[in-house]
Amino acid sequence: MGWGKAAFSDGTIKETKFNDSWEIHGNKITFKPLKKYRNEAMNKVVTDTIIDINDKEMILLNADEKKLVRTRMKPK
């Protein structure tokens, strides 16, 4: 399973998976929920700084300067 990205001429990359989507522009990635969650914290739009993306993981730096690693999930 790949990231399923759609690239646009302005450099923006978008993906929609399940209940969330993300968009990359430059070195920033924005995560947006596509449904309303009971937990309000999960309904926020979040923008992180990209450190590295490869075919297995995304390494990000969040607004609190904490390093995050998002691992690609395999289909069930």
pTM above 0.85, yes or no: no
CB 29 within 8 A of CB 50: yes
pLDDT band, residue 13 (cuts 50/70/90): low
Identify whether 1 is part of a domain.
no
User: In the prediction, which pLDDT does 49 show?
Assistant: 95
pLDDT tens digits, 21-59: 788 889 998 988 888 888 887 788 889 999 998 878 888
**Per-residue pLDDT, 2:** 38
Task: For residues 55 and 40, give the distance between their C-alpha atoms in angstroms, rounded to a whole number.
Answer: 31
DSSP state of 38: S
> For the chain, how many residues are written?
76
Identity of the amino acid at 17: K
| Percent of the chain scoring above 90 in pLDDT | 9
Tell me the one-letter amino acid at 29: I
Q: In the chain, how many domains are there?
A: 1
In a domain, 11, yes or no: yes
Q: For residue 63, is it within any domain? A: yes
Instruction: Please check whether residue 50 lies inside any domain of the structure.
Output: yes
**Rounded mean pLDDT of 3-14?**
56
Would residue 22 count as lying in a domain? yes
Residue 76 lies in a domain: no
> Structural domain of residue 38, as residue ranges?
6-71
